[in-house]
Amino acid sequence: MSTPESPDVSDARPGRRAWITRVVLLVVAALSTVTIVGLIGRVDWEAARDALTHLSWWHHIVLLVIVVARQILLAMPLSFFIRGVTFYRATINDLGATLMYLIAPPPSDIALRVAMFKSWGVSPAKGLAGTVMNSLTFYVARFSAPLVGFMLLLAIGEDASFRLLELLSIAIAVATLVIVLMIVRSDALARAVGTRAGLIVRRFRKTVDPDRWADRCQNFRADIAERFHSGFPLAVLSQVGMMVVDFAALTLCLRFVGVTADEVGLVWIAIAYLFAFPFTVFPLWGIGIVDALLLATLVEAGGLEIEAAAVAGILVWRVYTVAVPVLLGAVAVAAWRREVAVADASPAAPTRPE
């Protein structure tokens, strides 16, 4: 527990740990990328640059619209789990957190989320509970993706035995879903889950108090139970919709730079996407490792002759799905600050919760 005498130390340690974790994961992603690309073959970067010249001005408009739809769907669970948060506010909140996650040390993204919630009259506890459910719902969708990939492989008669490692991803999705359902079922189960998790973590961090973890799980249940049963199915659908839109963006990026349907069919792009998607758990949506896995499957389907164009398409997809949301996050934060300034300047402005 933090003390008044040492707030800076207690706040700094989690930030340092988070940054170290990000760096380690990025190093792992870089090494994986080098290994996988090395197995595929040397990329013809000159041909990849030539492929980018196929992009027309209207392609960028289409991709921008798709990315905006993607971000709305990604943030939508916040509105299902938190009363008083509209789709617009959910999107502003999520985009702002994305920006802060990249430019400032943790937990700056959480601090911004809480500040936004308070400005909208939402209690921090309710807001953070909804944020956690937003993340858990996305985790269930993310790690379930390979299940559809297996179904597609079986549908086209391809061997799926070499993909058995992806069964671990599906197991994580199932475990996450079961834990969430246990927590919201009753206070007793919520406390049991919190206590058990605390005992496991205490094996690695002696300062962990299982009773506090039990209290937090119970409080989390209290904050989320009211809207869980109506909100969770809709939240899952929104995350599935986000993945469909994200896949559409990848497909269009590949088509726009010259990877034709005759070279790589839609089903193979879907298989590549579904098996690579769990690796977006790495920083920056798995940048590097996800791209290498996508490229490996696409080249396997279409041959080495499409490698350069596939690299170009994946690069464009990354720009729009990683870089553009960060820019949109800056716009979102500016819009929220202006909203707060206008509310503060209004004599009839309601008092926001402390």
> 67-125 pLDDT, tens per residue?
999 999 999 999 999 999 999 999 999 999 999 988 877 788 999 999 999 999 999 99
Residue 3 clears pLDDT 70, i.e. is over it: no
286-300 residue pLDDT tens: 888 899 899 989 999
Residue 108: the pLDDT is: 86
Closest CA to 248 of 57, 56, 62, 50: 62
Residue 327 clears pLDDT 60, i.e. is over it: yes
Tell me the pLDDT of the chain averaged across its residues: 86
What span, in angstroms and rounded, lies between the C-alpha atoms of 231 and 88?
Answer: 17
Q: How far out from the chain centre does Cα 40 lie?
A: 27
CB 186 within 8 Å of CB 172: no
Average of per-residue pLDDT across 196-218: 86
Residue 143: the pLDDT is: 96
Six-digit token pair at 107? 């937990």
Non-local (6+) Cβ contacts of 211 within 8 A are: 195, 198
259-281 residue pLDDT tens: 999 999 999 999 999 999 999 98
Residue 266: the pLDDT is: 97
Sole residue written with tokens 């920083």: 283
Residue 35: the pLDDT is: 56
What span, in angstroms and rounded, lies between the C-alpha atoms of 150 and 133?
Answer: 27
Residue 225: the pLDDT is: 85
Residue 9 clears pLDDT 90, i.e. is over it: no
Residue 22 clears pLDDT 70, i.e. is over it: no
CB 166 within 8 Å of CB 143: no
Average of per-residue pLDDT across 185-212: 87
DSSP 3-state of 216: helix
Closest CA to 129 of 224, 25, 10, 12: 224
Per-range mean pLDDT, top range of 28-32, 247-251, 308-312: 247-251
In angstroms, the first-to-last Cα distance of the chain is: 22
CB 116 within 8 Å of CB 352: no
Six-digit token pair at 258? 């010259």
